[in-house]
Amino acid sequence: MSFASLPFELRSLIWSLAVAPRHITINKVRAKGSFSNKHRQQGKDILYETSSTPPPALMHVCSESRQQAPYKRAFTAGTEPRWTWVNFELDIFCVSSLYAVSDMLSHRSEIQRLQIRTDDDIAIDWYEAATRYNGLSGVYQLENLGEIQVVLEPGDLMWGDVFKDWGLGRCPQDNITFLDEGSGLVLTGDQLKMVGDWRVVFSFDSEGNPPDPDRLSEEIAHVLDDSWHMTWAQIHELD
């Protein structure tokens, strides 16, 4: 029996099973020449929006697969517009710089899943960008974010502070995770913050042994509790 001879309901089910989340990057190609700040803010220097992500396989199989595929044309801005096939419910939009989120704001109400890396934030430290230079403004403008994954650079624990002190837009905190590519660990924001606090206030014992992981939260609370320590004024009185 050929695929074409299968009942339509079965063929439709097979097409739906072929749909999978994709990682999508979006870039704006801008025209050369001088433009006023006003025209740049209006996007009149943009030729088109493009993506390096290949189109979904279903869009290349046959006319029926294209009709059944749950994708729409998106990112069509510019004077020479093109498009990218997108499933906003499944696809994960990826940025390698906090400021790159602004390239996706033409669909601010539709993007639901975001992955953030900061390996391209070379000109300015990403933490400074996030906390002092409005680097998170694009994330705040994504109106229906339901999931965020932050890929951590080696040893980078300061996202825990950003998570606690600044937040990541409208995304529910329970749906924000932090991926340490080196170890493969996936941490919640609270877990990452606790690890960062431990690194700042706690040290290995005299024999080089780490603390008991089951008591880590207790150790941090103990060290942060000022009632267990003398103030500088009290220490001065002892001299």
Q: What does the pLDDT profile of the chain (239 residues) look like in tens digits?
A: 788 888 999 999 999 998 999 999 998 888 887 767 766 665 677 888 999 999 999 998 999 999 999 999 999 988 888 999 999 999 999 999 898 998 899 999 999 999 999 876 655 688 888 888 888 999 999 999 999 999 998 778 889 999 999 999 999 999 999 998 888 889 999 999 888 877 766 655 555 566 666 666 776 676 566 555 555 556 556 55
Q: Quick one: 117 and 194 in the same domain?
A: yes
Residue 77: domain span: 26-88
Looking at residue 145, its pLDDT comes to: 95
Closest to 62 in 3D by CA, of 22, 18, 21: 18
Position 126 scores a pLDDT of: 87
Q: Looking at residue 229, what is its pLDDT?
A: 54
Q: Do 160 and 106 sit in the same domain of this protein?
A: yes
Q: Are residues 80 and 100 in the same domain?
A: no
| Judgement on whether residues 128 and 215 belong to the same structural domain of the protein | yes
Q: What one-character DSSP code corresponds to residue 42?
A: T
Domain boundary pick from 34, 65, 88: 88
149 and 205 both lie in a single domain: yes
Please check whether residues 186 and 68 belong to one and the same domain: no
The reply to whether 207 and 100 lie within a common domain is yes
What pLDDT is recorded for position 185?
Answer: 87
pLDDT at site 235: 55
Residues 161 and 195: beta-carbon distance below 8 Å:
no
Strand-pair partners of 176? 148
The tally of CA atoms less than 13 A away on the side-chain side of residue 95 is 24
The two three-digit tokens of residue 122, written as one number:
């070379």
Question: Is 224 domain-assigned?
Answer: yes
pLDDT the model gives residue 177: 96
Residues 50 and 113 in one domain: no
Q: Report whether 153 contacts 179 (CB < 8 A).
A: no
Cβ pair 160, 189 in contact under 8 A: yes
Helix (H, G, I), strand (E, B) or coil at 175: helix
Same domain, 55 and 130: no
C-alpha closest to that of 116 among 147, 150, 90: 150
Do residues 63 and 102 share a domain?
A: no
Q: Is residue 192 part of a domain?
A: yes
The tokens for 4 are 């074409």
Question: What is the Cα–Cα distance from 8 to 140, expressed in whole angstroms?
Answer: 43
* Dihedral of alpha carbons 192, 88, 17, 63, sign: negative
Shared domain for 54 and 108, answered yes or no, is: no
Tokens found for residue 20: 């999978």
* pLDDT for 211: 60
User: Is 141 among the domain residues?
Assistant: yes
Specify the number of domains making up the chain.
Answer: 2
